[in-house]
Amino acid sequence: MLSDYTHICGRELIAEIKELAEPLRGRRVVHISATAFGGGVSEILYTLVPLMRDVGLDCEWQVIYGREEFFNATKLLHNALQGAPQDLDEEHWSTWLRYNEMNARELSGDWDVCLVHDPQPAGLFGLVPEKAKGWVWRCHIDLSTPNPDTIARFLPYVEGYPATLFHMQDYVPDGMSGHVHVVPPAIDPLTPKNMALSPEDASFVCDQFGIDVDRPLMCQVSRFDPWKDPLGVIDAYRAVKQHLPEVQLALVGSMASDDPEGWDFFNATIAHAAGDFDIHILNNFNNVGAIEVNAFQSHADVVVQKSTREGFGLTVTEAIWKARPFIGGNVGGIPLQIEDGVTGFLVDSVEECAQRSLEVLNDPALGKFLGRRGKEYVRTHFLTPRYLRDYLRIFHELNER
């Protein structure tokens, strides 16, 4: 319930949300996404949908239908929109459109607002605009340097949406019409992944996975994806280990149903680790769930997110919320969350990542300073009630048109 967040976010924000929600009571809202688990979008919706219901909206969440051929095409689309050189061929585009048409037929009508998340179902508005009074396309990826051919082909499907949401202004493609909003996402501080965990409980969980809780630990939590650069994290860890032989590394991720490349890259990460017993590579099929992720982040001496592309990086927010010293790639939405040297460190290379990790590992006071400042910044900018408020403001704008 919204009131549960009052002690964290303050009475003023909670009162503002209730005031915004009252005129919208009973409005029918549907979120459309590609998967029910395994990524940041689904984690956001698990919290956001119940909160929208709690403040009086008639809110649902529907997951689109897709088979392997569709998710192979959308993974290419996702990568190309983030700058990968490989474009979709005509068969891929045809598959993407065919599944959008199929899901458009299945979508019920009479919604006040239909919120479409990411590129997978982005064709819905152009196919069945009559099924909702208001449409919003929510983009969760980095469109700052897209493959030119891909964005040219994709843009006509989204530029007509009455409202669009992006994490950062830099992600808004040229040519977007309608009302463009810059709204960064947020984490839920009350979920098992983000709730306060005692040092003893965090240590106990880490110990169950073979971590020596008396030795320093570096950790990255992310999908197994080339953009997250787990191979670069391993290289940085190896450079640290030359100076600090007792260091360990945990690479923890979840495998999503809409990411067919995930297992290939998971296996590539294992191969790159080359049998090092101090590298622990874990996923949700190793019984790693929300509490376990919380424990790894809470126990780590350094939390890393060495992405080379990053839409926003909710795992960054999660780590900082736990007051852990953070080191991240200077890309995408990560600099939005990190003031370099104040709430964490931003790096541009494996060497920088290793250097900053060593600084933190050798200076616990520095780690505590970064962690405290970072946690307060997340409290004021990146928690779910603020995100809910921003959506309610947009619903009011749609209602006034």
All residues at 6 or more sequence positions from 400 whose CB lies less than 8 Å from its CB, including other chains: none
Distance, CA of 91 to CA of 75 (rounded, Å):
14
Task: Report which of 218, 263, 187, 235 is spatially closest to residue 351, judged by C-alpha positions.
Answer: 235
Q: From residue 249, how far is each of 85, 95, 180, 206, 297 by CA, in Å? A: 31, 40, 41, 12, 12
Instruction: Tell me the mean pLDDT per 10 residues along the chain, length 401.
Output: 93 96 96 80 90 96 93 92 90 96 93 95 95 94 91 93 92 83 93 94 95 96 88 96 97 70 81 93 83 95 92 88 95 91 95 97 94 94 95 89 64
**Angle (nearest 5°) at CA 209 between 204 and 210:** 95
Please spell the DSSP secondary structure of 188-237, one letter per residue: -TTSTTTS---HHHHHHHHHHTT--TTS-EEEEES-S-GGG-HHHHHHHH
CA-to-CA distance for 384 and 334, rounded, in angstroms? Answer: 18
**pLDDT given at position 256:** 62
Strand, helix or coil at 250? Answer: strand
Cα end-to-end span (Å), the chain = 30
Determine the length of the chain. Answer: 401
pLDDT of residue 141: 87
Number of Cβ within 10 Å of residue 67's Cβ equals: 9
Measured at the alpha carbon of residue 328, what is the angle toward residues 327 and 329, in degrees to the nearest 5?
145
Calculate the CA dihedral of residues 352, 353, 357, 358 and round it to 10 degrees: -40
CB < 8 Å & 24+ apart, contacts of 11-16: 13/385, 13/386, 13/389, 14/385, 16/389
Amino acid making up residue 81 = L
Provide the 3-class DSSP secondary structure of residue 116.
strand
**pLDDT attached to residue 312:** 85
Query: Sign of torsion, CA 214 217 222 226?
Result: negative
Which domains does the chain possess? 2-186+383-400 (3.40.50.2000), 199-381 (3.40.50.2000)
> For position 176, what pLDDT does the model report?
80
CA angle 222, 278, 201 (to 5 degrees): 65
Judge residue 182's burial from the number of C-beta atoms within 10 Å of its C-beta, 0-12 exposed, 13-18 middle, 19 or more buried. Answer: middle
Tokens 């592309």 sit at which residue? 309
Enumerate residues 6+ apart whose C-beta is below 8 A from 174.
none
Tell me which residue has tokens 């424990």: 295
Distance CA 140, CA 55 (A): 24
Helices 230-243 and 350-362 cross at an angle (nearest 10°) of: 50
List the beta strands (DSSP E) in 123-212.
Answer: 132-138, 163-166, 179-182
Pairing of strands 179-182, 163-166: parallel
Quote the distance between the C-alpha of residue 372 and its chain's center: 22
Burial of 203 (0-12, 13-18, 19+ CB in 10 A): middle
Gap between the Cα atoms of 107 and 102, Å rounded: 9
Q: In a 3-state reduction of DSSP, which class is residue 257?
A: coil
Question: What token pair was written down for 209?
Answer: 């996975």
What pLDDT, on the 0 to 100 scale, is given for residue 258? 54
Q: Do residues 141 and 165 lie in contact, with contact meaning Cβ atoms separated by under 8 Å?
A: no
